[in-house]
């Protein structure tokens, strides 16, 4: 499932919208009345939870796993294929959608269901989503508090950046047991932005693509000081063995790091632990 989500995120990365747009097909719940919320992506689920409104969730997409209690909720389809019948059957008063869900959003409006559309690509999108969803749920004060915590985490990470910025290659996807089919985090991606905060220089900064497909020859040419393997293949036993014969500084120095935390795969309000994980991963680099 984690690899499927990674591929879905890569597939929609060409969308450049950075916004959150409330589209109420019906009036929002009046003050004091609990909403019934369905989310169609993990980032939206995490935003609702960060606002202290996880109890309002009545359904989530197949990939949402945080907070843990959402695993017990009805599933309404994949990130790229939401099941409209399942959504409508839950009688939601609000559905949080991504910018790739325009057709689904139109159908939901036809069914009289209000939506909030949020694009989730980068750091700024998380803050925008917290503002907009917070206002929709009448939880703007909670949104402000979470955003303040995010700003503090970024300031703290920035203040502790190493004097030397290692060149970092972050792999988002690859084949199991080998290095074929590699997809990396390019400029403007979620991981790229987080690396910049903690003091890592993206080895593919000149790529021009958010999630470039790369070959082993391009890895050799990049000469990374650190390799972060965030792929599904990187979470299995002996996953690091695939890198053993790659002649780059990261491998010779033992700076190939396997990371599997979901908040590194997609934008999340859990920015503090994401920054901490990346800072730890690059701190031993030369």
Write the DSSP assignment of 106-161 as a string of letters: HHHHHTT-EEEEE--SSHHHHHHHHHHHHHHTT-HHHHHHHHHHHHHHHHHHHHT-
Together in a domain, 23 and 153: yes
The range of the structural domain enclosing residue 244 comes to 161-282
CA dihedral for 37, 39, 42, 44, sign (positive or negative): negative
Which of 158, 178, 200 delimits the end of a domain?
Answer: 158
Q: Which of 128, 158, 188 is the last residue of a domain?
A: 158
3-class DSSP assignment, residue 251? helix
Are both 96 and 146 inside the same structural domain? Answer: yes
198 & 153 share domain: no
What are the pLDDT digits (tens) for 9-33?
554 444 444 457 655 444 555 444 5
**CATH code at 256?**
3.40.50.1980
pTM above 0.95, yes or no: no
Q: Are residues 215 and 259 in the same domain?
A: yes
- What is the phi/psi pair of residue 6, to 5°? -60, -45
Return per-residue pLDDT of the chain as tens, 286 residues: 555 555 555 544 444 444 576 554 445 554 445 799 999 999 999 999 999 999 999 999 999 999 999 999 999 999 889 999 999 999 999 999 998 999 999 999 999 999 999 989 889 999 999 999 999 999 999 999 999 999 999 999 999 999 899 999 999 999 988 999 999 999 999 999 999 999 999 999 999 899 999 999 999 999 999 999 999 888 777 888 999 999 999 999 999 999 989 899 889 999 999 999 999 999 865 5
14 and 137 share a domain? Answer: yes
Beta-bridged to residue 8, according to DSSP, are none
As beta bridge partners, residue 117 has 21, 97
Q: For residue 114, what are the β-bridge partners?
A: 94
- Domain total in the chain: 2
How many CB atoms are located within 10 Å of the residue 112 CB?
9
The Cα–Cα gap between 54 and 37 comes to: 9
């Amino acid at each position: 499932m984690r690899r499927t989500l990674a591929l879905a995120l890569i597939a929609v990365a060409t969308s450049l919208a950075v916004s959150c747009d409330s589209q109420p097909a019906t009036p929002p719940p009046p003050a004091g009345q609990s909403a019934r919320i369905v989310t169609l992506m993990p980032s939206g689920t995490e935003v609702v939870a960060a606002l202290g409104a996880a109890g309002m969730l009545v359904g989530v997409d197949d990939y949402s796993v945080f907070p843990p209690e959402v695993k017990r909720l009805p599933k309404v389809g994949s990130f790229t294929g939401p099941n409209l019948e399942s959504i409508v059957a839950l009688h939601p008063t609000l559905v949080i959608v991504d910018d790739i869900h325009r057709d689904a959003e139109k159908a939901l409006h036809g069914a009289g269901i209000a939506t909030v559309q949020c694009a989730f690509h980068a750091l700024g999108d998380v803050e925008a989503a917290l503002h907009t969803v917070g206002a929709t749920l009448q939880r703007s004060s909670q949104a402000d508090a979470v955003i303040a915590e995010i700003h503090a985490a970024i300031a703290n990470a920035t203040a502790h950046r190493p004097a030397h910025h290692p060149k970092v290659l972050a792999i988002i996807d690859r084949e199991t047991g080998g290095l074929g089919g590699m997809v990396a985090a390019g400029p403007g991606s979620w991981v790229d932005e987080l690396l910049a905060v903690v003091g890592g220089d993206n080895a593919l900064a000149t790529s021009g693509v958010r999630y470039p497909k790369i070959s082993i020859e391009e890895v050799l040419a990049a000469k990374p000081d650190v390799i972060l393997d965030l792929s599904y293949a990187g979470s299995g036993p002996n996953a690091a063995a695939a890198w053993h014969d790659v002649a780059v500084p990261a491998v010779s120095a033992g700076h190939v790091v396997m990371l599997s935390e979901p908040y590194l795969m997609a934008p999340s309000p859990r920015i503090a632990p994401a920054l901490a994980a990346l800072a730890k991963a690059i701190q031993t680099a030369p």
